[in-house]
Amino acid sequence: NDQNDQNDQNAINTTSSWYWNDASTKLLLDIYKRQKELVSTRKIKTYKLLWKQIAKEMRQNGYSVTPLQVENKIKSLERSYKNMISNNKMTGRARKTCKYEAELTDLLGEKHSIQPLAVSGRNGLILHEKLHCNKENAV
């Protein structure tokens, strides 16, 4: 166990840059999707521990990344997704796309900072209803 802690510490102290290719990014998103609920259920106490756990699983799959690189990549992907959503809501703008749009919509689509439950403006408060699909109504 001390050896694992030492390996984690060595990975954390590594300052080399990491190039995120398509395969490593998709693996990161897959692991993040599986692990992020552990923070809200308090099985993992902090996001710092989540990044460490994800980096460990990435290393087990052959990708030598640090927890900081994992955190930065997730934040970068979230920022790109939010910018795309914001741009596409504005009229007169060319539609932007995001390379991992489907995966990020699955991960972040319910996040209120991206899809707020209500919006306030000149015309008052606008409430957004969640769409639910029943099996009977499915086509």
**Tens of pLDDT, residues 4-58:** 544 544 444 444 677 999 999 999 999 999 998 888 788 888 889 999 999 999 9
d(CA 105, CA 2): 39
The one-letter code for the residue type at 92 is: G
**Predicted TM-score (pTM) of this structure:** 0.66
Q: 138 lies in a domain?
A: no
Q: 62 lies in a domain?
A: yes
- pLDDT over 80 at 63, yes or no: yes
Select the highest-mean-pLDDT range: 24-33, 102-111, 113-122.
24-33
Overall number of domains in the chain? 1
Q: How many CA atoms lie within 13 A of 135 on its CB side?
A: 0
User: Which range of residues forms the domain containing residue 74?
Assistant: 22-127
Q: 42 lies in a domain?
A: yes
